[in-house]
A and B are shown apart, each in its own frame.
Chain A
Amino acid sequence: MIDNTIIYPVVAQLVTAIILLFFWGKSYPQRFISILGSLVVLLMSITLFSKVWSGNILIMESANWKPPFGIVFVADVFSSTMVLITSIVAFAVSIYSSVGIGNARQRFGYFPLFHFLMMGLNGAFLTGDIFNLYVFFEVIIISSFVLMTLGGRKTQLEGAVKYMAMNILASTIFLTGIGILYGITGTLNMADLAVKVPLVENRNIIDITAIFFLVGFGIKSAVFPLYYWLPSSYHTPPSAVAAVFGGLLTKVGVYAILRIFTLIFVPNEFMKIVLTVLSVMTIISGGFGALIKRDVRRIFSYLIVCHIGFMIGGIALFTPIALSGVLFYLIHDILVKTNIFLISGLIRNMKGNLNTLKAGGLYARYPKISLVMALVFFSLVGVPPLSGFWPKIYLFEAGFTTHNYFFIAALIIGSFLTLYIMARLWSDVFWKNPSEGDDSLIDHFKDYSRWKQALLVIPICLLAIATLYVGLAAENIVVVVKHIAAEMIDTSPYIDAVLGNK
């Protein structure tokens, strides 16, 4: 079905960003436009999701060129779910940013760049053309570069150099993969590639191309040997920026791996072994990395790496149950990871510091807010019946049925490490008595007006409610992820919808 609804979430973000550019330097109107724009996009994504969920896969042929010749935008359930979750996160973060981002940063174009980043994310989720995916990836990384360096603190610039070098390298490798793929098949449309790649006789060259894509997306989603740029850069930008990066940027890499490796390069035995080893190493190195860190945001950065491993491992198992687990985890992870970085910003406002050794006593001072934070931390750990629990059941089940005990062991170790790290963080930051006579610990939050305090707390509560819904109404999410997993195993509806075979 051809429908222009698909492009609206992308276009609306672009239009919001352009309107914001006209208000360059005026931080007060920008806040309103940003929140309003995010709300409009959220409504559009809900419409898109309900349309796709009730009917069939929607496509839009840009410039009216028929696929596989033109660039086509495709909204299946997977894409529209991702767009919906992204829009919820974007809405929460744009509310948080109005207070959480300093005035100087707002004047130098924080909001337009934020919306360009969101445009890139929505575009990357919705496009059905592999080169267009590359272009949207570049939109994402160039706006994330500027967001990361905005403000120009020394640590920020240090982190940005590593982030920039690794991400440009990833894009180059991805581009090389696209070039080879075009040379082999002569097409760039993903559905057309899904038809043509299995027909290629020289399987070795296909495997090598698949490795190019795996390395390219692996760098972006911080998979084991190539993850080290993430913990050395994600703790540097302001918390609202880190929330978007931690919640969405690595997940867009996971999305691309899921899309490419279910549609175009269906993993063979060798690829499954490679993915299992990578996932186990990612979980272990991320978990142990978080163990030795003492700064709240550095701990969270390593936890991102650790939990990316869960998803990669699920892809390695490649059964419908495992893929359902991965998708459920993806939804849960986007919401929770964004939220914990927002929480880290709030802790910084309350304590003036993020070092767990110096912090303490937050629970005594802010018991209600602390309880909301505890709820999010419990979801992250996966305490039943919260959202982190359900995907792990699926992953365990799939691991046992495929006898992949290495992955199960890593899953258990990763979960326990997360539990231990979060428990230690809780007791350090919330329960411990604060150290006496330290001047660096200043409570900015107390001095804020009621209105400002609400703007910081509301987005955290909003995302916490979304997490609660994912956990407590898990049966609804399960229906969606099972549908998506079925579409991933049998890709013919996607291909037929794009290429117009009936």
Chain B
Amino acid sequence: MKSTILKTASSYLLPILLLFSVFILLRGHYYPGGGFVGGLVAAIAFVLHSFTHGTENTLKLLRTHPGSLIPVGLGLSTLSMLAPLFSDLPVMTGLWFEEPVPVIGMIGSALFFDLGVYFLVVGIVLTILFTISVYSE
């Protein structure tokens, strides 16, 4: 796409959208939002960048192939799912730290699960879309 307005806007939109996606991720436990939606927003930020700057430049910006985020995300989610086993509770039971952390709020295994989902969604969506776009070019 050749639109100058979109091109200029997208380079500013990328960090803002990424920040917004982290915001959605963090508020997800008690309010609408969460890892899946946050991950989609982050993926859309990169897709917008790839629209204007080309897929190769976005891949350069990411440094690694988005596919490598998939095992990281899956592993993080699985570990947070299995954490309660060590204290003899059923799988997926929410474990929480006693004290809230400033800015983020309460930290528990659910947050890490969401974080894993976030990485997983970013990885999968970008892999799918980049595969299709590279394939059609």
Contact = CB atoms under 8 A, between A and B. Distances in A.
Direct A–B touching in the complex (beta carbon < 8 Å)? yes
Contacts of B78: 11, 14-15, 18
B113 to A, nearest CB: 11
A21 B90 contact: no
Interface string B57-86: 000000000011011001100100110010
B128 interface: no
A174 to B, nearest CB: 23
A208 B74 CA distance: 39
B93 interface: yes
B90 A64 contact: yes
Interface stretch (A55-63, A316-324, A410-418): A55-63
B17 interface: no
A270 interface: no
Contacts of A15: 78
Given A14-B78, A18-B78, A21-B70, A4 B85 contact: yes
B76 to A, nearest CB: 10
Given A11-B82, A21-B70, A62 B75 contact: no
B119 to A, nearest CB: 12
Interface residues of B, number: 17
A7 interface: yes
B91 A11 contact: yes
B75 A2 contact: no
A22 interface: yes
A3 to B, nearest CB: 9
B6 interface: no
B13 interface: no
Contacts of A22: 71, 75
Given A4-B85, A11-B82, A62 B90 contact: yes
Interface of B: 67-68, 70-71, 74-75, 78, 81-82, 85, 88-94
A315 B81 CA distance: 38
A60 B90 CA distance: 7
Interface of A: 2, 4, 7, 11, 14-15, 18, 21-22, 24, 60-64
B71 A21 contact: yes
A240 B70 CA distance: 26
A18 B81 CA distance: 14
A64 B87 CA distance: 13
9 contacts: A2-B90, A4-B91, A11-B78, A11-B81, A11-B82, A11-B91, A14-B74, A63-B94, A64-B90
Contacts of B90: 2, 4, 60-64
B91 A60 contact: yes
Nearest to B88: A4
Given A63-B90, A63-B92, 19 more contacts: A2-B90, A4-B88, A4-B90, A7-B91, A11-B81, A14-B74, A14-B78, A15-B78, A18-B75, A18-B78, A21-B71, A21-B74, A60-B90, A62-B90, A62-B92, A63-B91, A63-B94, A64-B89, A64-B93
Of the candidates A15, A22, A61, A63, the one having the most CB atoms from chain B within 10 angstroms of its own CB is: A63
A224 B2 CA distance: 56
A443 B53 CA distance: 53
Of the candidates B81, B85, B88, B90, the one having the most CB atoms from chain A within 10 angstroms of its own CB is: B90
B67 to A, nearest CB: 8
A313 B82 CA distance: 42
A68 to B, nearest CB: 16
A18 B91 CA distance: 18
A10 to B, nearest CB: 9
Of the candidates B71, B75, B82, B88, the one having the most CB atoms from chain A within 10 angstroms of its own CB is: B71
B71 A18 contact: yes
A7 B92 CA distance: 11
Contacts of A18: 71, 74-75, 78
A63 B93 CA distance: 4
A64 B109 CA distance: 14
Contacts of B94: 63
Contacts of B85: 4
Of the candidates B85, B88, B91, the one having the most CB atoms from chain A within 10 angstroms of its own CB is: B91
